[in-house]
Amino acid sequence: MSSKKNYMEVVKCGAKAHINLSQAEAVVTGISIRFGRASYELSYYHNGECKTVWCDESEFTVGDGNKMRIGFK
């Protein structure tokens, strides 16, 4: 039996996020998984204009209960 995980935990799309560097409030609007790492698309408003930025999970925070497991059974 393999001990390798067949899932990963990701932040749910639609979760409210706080971008650490800019202090902006954002929403997770996309997830890209490459080579076992997740990057997140965050959308937010700045001066009335909608902005989008791609972030690593270490660059933003979300509240509890905003993660889900994805993978294979």
Q: Distance of CA 36 to CAs 19, 32, 50, 71, 73, Å?
A: 23, 10, 29, 11, 17
Give the confidence band of 52 by pLDDT, cuts at 50, 70, 90: very high
pTM confidence score: 0.86
7-36 average pLDDT score = 95
In the CATH scheme, what is the code of domain 7-71? 2.30.30.390
Residue carrying the six token digits 């935990």: 9
31-45 average pLDDT score = 95
As a whole number, the mean pLDDT across the chain is 92
The terminus-to-terminus CA distance of the chain in angstroms comes to 14
Domain range annotation of the chain? 7-71
Task: With a cut of 60, say whether residue 60 has pLDDT above it.
Answer: yes
Report pLDDT for 6. 87
